[in-house]
A and B are shown apart, each in its own frame.
Chain A
Amino acid sequence: MKKNCLALFLAAASIGAVQAETVFVTLEKDNALAVVDPLEGKLIKTVPVGQRPRGIAISPDNKYLYIATSDDDTIKIVDAANLAVVGELPSGDDPETFALNPAGDRLYVSNEDDSLVTVIDTASKKAIKQIQVGVEPEGITVSPDNRWVISASETTNMLHWIDTQSLAISDNTLVDPRPRAVSFTADSQQLWATSEMAGTLTILDANTKQILKSISFEIPGVSNDKIQPVGVAIDKDRNRGYVALGPANRVAVINAQTFEVERYLLVGQRVWNLAFSPDQKRLYTTNGTSNDISIIDLESQKVTKSVGVGLYPWGVAVKP
């Protein structure tokens, strides 16, 4: 999901125009979508979007937002300009996380209760296949080169490598307990996966599918069992990666070349998901229990602002 936003950001950046972007945040307990102007640091408005909205992504042409409304058992298609609901996708029960492929014509949904990944054709709005994976699939992503879909199953503790051509699992990698989020580097060469209960980040070589490095986090004054990595994002030049550490209330900054943890940035409470600004100068974080988003300036590596958005901010997507 993030990867697709990233691809989109690249496209936007190449146009070269510096213009105000819009940040969309799903509010799990408000059943709404928050619209934020991040440069002004202001909440513009909040619009109802359906029951228990969680996962969110924007189409490559920036025209549509896809929003998983879990308690409606559907993924809503929302016009990104006027925020009207224009359609629904057959996601299966209780959709939470999903990923778009780079072309935006396929959407892969984790069906947590049924141990399935549902493949949806976005043009026809039809489910075209279901793939059996491990218990409680959650994190899901598509590689920027559209070769792999990765599904992480939380209870089986595995990453499933699904071939996008055959739509079948070709490999499985055992990782640390409760894998949550997965993200490829922009060159599709590495896969980064967070493990919430082990408090680790695993970096894998996408070609050999072998683990390159496992990173643990340590924060003075925070007990290890509160360090629960969730969202992960890597910048396009693979200089730095960022990991949201959940109830540790911090984002870890990792040197993506040496894999050293450079610093921890204090953000809001239970930081969950991350998204870059189109020019990758800022990082936006959703903070579940402090009901705000944090804006991190990536040049200075400082948290510059927090913006109150509503109850239980969950997912975040950015429109240039």
Chain B
Amino acid sequence: MFYNVSLRIIVKFLLVFQLLITSPVYAEAKQTVNIAYLAQEQKVPPALSNLDPFIENKGVLGAELAISDNNTTGQFTGQQFSLKKFIVPIDGNVADVFNKSIDGQFQFVVSTLPAEQMIGIADLPAAQQMVLLDASTRDDALRNEQCRKNVLHILPSRAMRADALAQYMMKKRWNKWFLVIGPNPEDRLFAHAIKRAAKRFGMKIVEEKIWEHTYDARRTAQSDVPVFTQVDDYDVLVVADEQGLFGEYLDYRTWHPRPVVGTQGLIATAWHRTHEQWGAVQIQNRFKEQSGRWMEEQDYAAYLAVRTIGEAATRTKSNELKAVKEFLLSEQFTLQGYKGRPLSFRAWNGQLRQPILLAAPRSLVTTAPVEGFLHPRTELDTLGYDQSESTCK
């Protein structure tokens, strides 16, 4: 790996050295599009193991890659894109930073704030003259009863993820589910999405249990899991453990030999390092070269958020909120997202419609919508809350 990378660099260096690189014809930069990136430092969560190091800068590196892509286009069209980062310290006040530094200076804001803070910012008076691109939350409430007209959601909601899993389970005819729910509020939200998906696709939850054991691998994995999973027969275990506190212990240790899906095992995600199709290998390579690590889901979301603004600004030749936002929510807007189908926004709740990857740790299993699930508008709308089900007013 290191050998390859260094070899590539040497090859490139030689090429650059030997050859005259012709610069493109630059259009004169006439228009500037300013984008703010708003995030807050997060506490390091309890780690299950030391395999995956905690990544502090999830999101921001994706936004940086997208700005550079936007500017490559911009040099031909006369638009200049700039990204200003506002990373609030853990004990800092996000609203203060927003009011002081973003209010009046930006119309486009990419946020990787958690749900509660994101909605707090969206409700500030100054935010009403902005579009907020949420590159972090997956809450269905934010796309339904708590929706805000000035917010667009890039990542798939929990309901979209659960529907993606359910479609594949239905195809495999793994109809009987054993649902295991973690102790955190997010786990209950995902479990709710799983139950909704089961009902929608005619699956049956034959057993449901809350995980109440410890998170100690030595004790939990070999003794607690077999006892805990000693239930009547089922086809597949669906786990809801968003923080990853115990879900990894389930595989290979259940009483019945059954696969694990949900937040561990086979997961439903917007992006994954095993994804290579539809040009994905290109962006995986570009991201790794820029960042020195794999692209995470939040990096992908922030990338798409900044590309969304770029695409709309290029097409409308505008940096004005009204023109850009109108275009974003129109049928003309299509974003290339390396997932084989054009991405666009659901006008009724601001959710980005997109394929969802179903991935095992080292292989991409399939993508949803799964072949055969049909919809009169687009098959992408078989995932999550459809227009008629939406409670976003």
Interface residues in chain A, defined as those with a beta carbon under 8 Å from any beta carbon in chain B: 73, 92-93, 112-116, 118, 127-136, 154-158, 160, 167-172, 174, 176-178, 196-199, 223-226, 228, 247
Contact = CB atoms under 8 A, between A and B. Distances in A.
A130 B15 contact: yes
10 tightest CB-CB pairs across the interface, nearest first?
Answer: A197-B342, A156-B73, A172-B76, A178-B336, A225-B341, A197-B336, A131-B22, A169-B24, A135-B72, A135-B69
Nearest to B21: A130
B139 interface: no
Nearest to A113: B285
A115 B72 contact: yes
A113 B25 CA distance: 20
Nearest to A172: B76
B90 interface: no
A225 B11 CA distance: 39
B69 A177 contact: no
A156 B74 CA distance: 9
A199 B336 CA distance: 12
Contact of A127 (B15, B73, B334): B15
A115 B279 CA distance: 14
Contacts of A113: 282, 285-286, 289
A136 B73 CA distance: 11
A134 B282 contact: no
B85 to A, nearest CB: 22
User: By CB atoms of chain A within 10 A, which of B73, B289, B374 has the most?
Assistant: B73
Contacts of A223: 374-375, 378-379
Contacts of A196: 336
B74 to A, nearest CB: 9
Nearest to B374: A223
Contacts of B23: 132
Given A178-B336, A225-B378, A225-B379, A154 B279 contact: yes
Contact of A225 (B21, B285, B335, B342): B342
A138 to B, nearest CB: 8
Interface string B5-30: 00010011001101111111100000
Contact of B22 (A129, A135, A155, A197): A129
B69 A155 contact: yes
A120 to B, nearest CB: 11
A311 B341 CA distance: 23
Contact of B342 (A131, A174, A198): A198
B330 to A, nearest CB: 13
B380 interface: yes
B134 interface: no
Interface residues of B, number: 36
A168 B22 CA distance: 6
26 contacts: A92-B11, A113-B289, A114-B12, A127-B19, A128-B19, A129-B22, A131-B21, A132-B23, A133-B24, A135-B69, A136-B279, A136-B282, A154-B279, A155-B69, A156-B72, A156-B76, A158-B76, A160-B24, A167-B22, A168-B22, A172-B25, A177-B311, A177-B342, A197-B334, A225-B342, A225-B379
Contacts of A157: 73, 311, 314, 336
Contacts of B11: 73, 92-93
A198 B22 contact: no
A130 B308 CA distance: 30
Contacts of B12: 93, 114
Contact of B334 (A129, A132, A177): A177
A132 B378 contact: no
Given A114-B12, A177-B342, A223-B379, A129 B73 contact: no
B391 interface: no
Given A198-B342, A225-B379, 15 more contacts: A73-B11, A93-B11, A129-B20, A133-B24, A135-B72, A155-B73, A160-B24, A169-B22, A177-B336, A178-B336, A196-B336, A197-B334, A197-B335, A223-B374, A247-B340
B25 A169 contact: yes
Contacts of B24: 131-133, 160, 169, 172
Interface string B59-75: 00000000001001100
B329 to A, nearest CB: 17
B8 A93 contact: yes
A103 B68 CA distance: 37
Contacts of B279: 136, 154
Interface in B316-340: 334-336, 340
Contacts of A158: 73, 76
Contacts of A156: 69, 72-73, 76
Contacts of A228: 340
A135 B15 contact: no
A169 B311 CA distance: 22
Given A135-B73, A167-B22, A170-B25, A177 B314 contact: no
B34 interface: no
B77 interface: yes
Contacts of B286: 113
A238 to B, nearest CB: 29
A317 B341 CA distance: 28
Contacts of A134: 72-73, 76
Interface string B360-381: 0000000000000011001110
A13 B178 CA distance: 67
A131 B22 CA distance: 5
B380 A225 contact: yes
Contacts of B8: 93
Given A174-B77, A197-B336, A130 B72 contact: no
Interface in B284-316: 285-286, 289, 311, 314
A290 to B, nearest CB: 14
A170 B76 CA distance: 11
Contacts of B16: 130
A177 B335 contact: yes
Nearest to A167: B22
Contacts of A172: 24-25, 76-77
User: By CB atoms of chain B within 10 A, which of A92, A115, A131, A225 has the most?
Assistant: A225
A82 B346 CA distance: 56
A224 B378 contact: yes
A23 B314 CA distance: 42
A199 B342 CA distance: 9
A119 to B, nearest CB: 9
Contacts of A130: 15-16, 19-22
Contacts of A115: 72
